[in-house]
Structure 1
Amino acid sequence: MRNLAIMEWIRSTAASVEWVTSVCTGAFLMRAAGVSCGRRVATERALEDELERLGDLTVVRDARYVADGNLVSSQGVSAGIDMALWLVGRLHGRDHARLVRRSIQYEPAPPYLADEPEPAHVPA
């Protein structure tokens, strides 16, 4: 955030693109570059209070991703996948987003099932 060249690149790029996205702590970079000023954002849960204390934005809690105009931000890495699929849906339609989800084999399961493999099918 102290690298002025990177902050300027984020600022100038954000001003010239259709969508701006951030994942996890990227929300801090967006704020430092002035891109998220006055907007709603999501960030890593453990850092929500810290980002909010910096001011100039609204941290939305308990949302995996947040869209505010052309700025879309997510809480963390897996939430970033959800955010990216939402954006694919906005750009190319829901059917295409579902196709992308299937092609990357993204089948989210509740956490209590995520570490248990499905039982193998044993023919009778």
Structure 2
Amino acid sequence: MHVVPDRTLGDHPPLDVLLVPGGRGAREIEPRNPAITGWIAETAAQASWVVGVCTGAFLLHAAGPARGRRVATHRDYEDALEARGDVTVVRDARYVVDGDLLTTQGVSAGIDGALWLVGRLHGREHARAVRREIQYDPAPPYLADEPL
């Protein structure tokens, strides 16, 4: 699979929502890349909403938008993000809203956060319609109190 962008960092329209995904690069490599962190800082300052999914919070911290704020990130990396300082990691919260910043723990928590944002932007009924359309009705198997 190849992912090919339609635009570059310097050639895109204004963004209403800046979404920063997580992953190994987001927590280990790109926080040290001034081209990426500079673009995030500049774009976040103009966006209506800034969203970090999973360890995307590391990039948002490095770029500035998460500094001094309450955030969520993947549970395996909460301590590492908190150790960077100037951030409050909220544990056991699937998503956290702090002003115009929305951060989520992991993949499925990203869906929860995205639905919250859809509701905020377009109303609760629209968010419910989106949830129905994507058939998101969590019913995970193997819950602790279920017999095998």
TM-score, reference length from structure 1: 0.88
Q: Deviations over 1:10-68 (max 9, x none)?
A: 00000001000000010000000011111000000000011001111100000000000
1:74 aligned partner: 104
Gaps of 5+ in 2: 1-30, 144-148
1:83 aligned partner: 113
Residues 41-52 of structure 1 mapped to structure 2, 5 A cutoff: 41-52=71-82
1:64 aligned partner: 94
Residues 15-54 of structure 1 mapped to structure 2, 5 A cutoff: 15-54=45-84
Letter in structure 2 aligned against 1:74:
T
Q: Report the structure number with the largest CA radius of gyration.
A: 1
In structure 2, C-alpha distance between the alignment counterparts of 1:39 and 1:103, rounded to whole Å: 33
- Cα offset for 1:112? 2.4
TM-score, reference length from structure 2: 0.74
- Please identify runs of 4+ aligned residues in structure 1 that moved more than 4 A: none
Residues 87-106 of structure 1 mapped to structure 2, 5 A cutoff: 87-106=117-136
In structure 2, C-alpha distance between the alignment counterparts of 1:73 and 1:45, rounded to whole Å: 13
Gaps of 5+ in 1: 114-124
- Cα offset for 1:111? 4.2
Aligned length: 113
RMSD across aligned positions (CA): 0.9
1:11 aligned partner: 41
